[in-house]
Amino acid sequence: MRRRLGRLEGVGRAALTAAGRTWFRPVRRFRPRGGAVLAVGVPGEEVLDLYQGCTGYGLLPLPDIAHLRWLAGGHPASGQFICLYFTLGGVLRGWGLVRVVGGPDGPEAALVETYAPRPTYDLYRWMVAELVAAVLPYRPRLVRARASCPVLGAALRKARFLRGRDWPVFVWSSPPPAAPPGPCHLTLNTQDEPLIPVPERWFPESVRGAVEPL
């Protein structure tokens, strides 16, 4: 009986491994007609044009380009940032930013920003797939994301992101603001979220002791 259970345990482990590989395999990427992906070092001022006019959002934080450049050019221990531009017919349609950082159990990745004005499900599905593919060479043990936009949320679920708990959005102002007339777009590109998790060690072992504390 013990031997038989051992065999069943082995079969069960193999089945779970196969199921996990199927579930977490890279999502097949599709590219819309005329679509192209451009990898850039850091986001430029041109992305601000995407926030002008009718965006389809009632609440939309503007990106701090100088802050994002500071993050991307910071200390190596803060992680690797990858910025992608998405164009349709040669025109910038959206942009995204991902981060890969070393964690206690291995590399971790995060979709810091995924944004396009007047988004469609197919557009965000394409962008999410490309951003996830950009971090796969680092073999992250997990990829985090946040989305208050229902269209982006649907695209993340299509990419097999697991939904966590819902967090309320608080707004402080005087007088109290009215509810936004449309959906809001809140991602990990707010406050200090692009720096979380904060590295526990800022200097690698190879240079430890070479830098004198102030």
Q: Tokens 């070092």 identify what position? A: 41
Q: What is the pLDDT of residue 72?
A: 82
Q: What is the pLDDT of residue 8?
A: 45
Report the distance separating Cα 3 and Cα 10, nearest Å.
Answer: 11
Q: What is the pLDDT of residue 52?
A: 95
- Let me know if domain 27-161+168-192 sits in CATH 3.40.630.30: yes
Domain ranges of the chain: 27-161+168-192
Q: What is the pLDDT of residue 79?
A: 85
Whole-Å CA distances, 100 to 15, 97, 170, 173: 30, 10, 29, 35
Q: Residue-wise pLDDT tens for the chain (214 aa)?
A: 444 444 545 554 454 444 445 444 555 567 889 999 999 988 999 999 999 999 999 889 899 999 888 888 877 777 889 999 999 999 999 999 999 988 888 899 999 999 999 999 999 999 999 999 999 999 999 999 999 999 999 999 999 999 887 777 766 767 776 766 778 898 988 767 777 766 665 544 444 444 444 4
Q: What is the pLDDT of residue 145?
A: 94
Structure tokens at 28: 């097949």
Whether 51 contacts 60, CB under 8 Å? yes
- Judged on CB neighbours under 10 Å (0-12, 13-18, 19+), 54 is exposed
Q: What is the pLDDT of residue 201?
A: 56
Q: What is the pLDDT of residue 120?
A: 96
Q: What is the pLDDT of residue 18?
A: 46
Whether 103 contacts 197, CB under 8 Å? yes
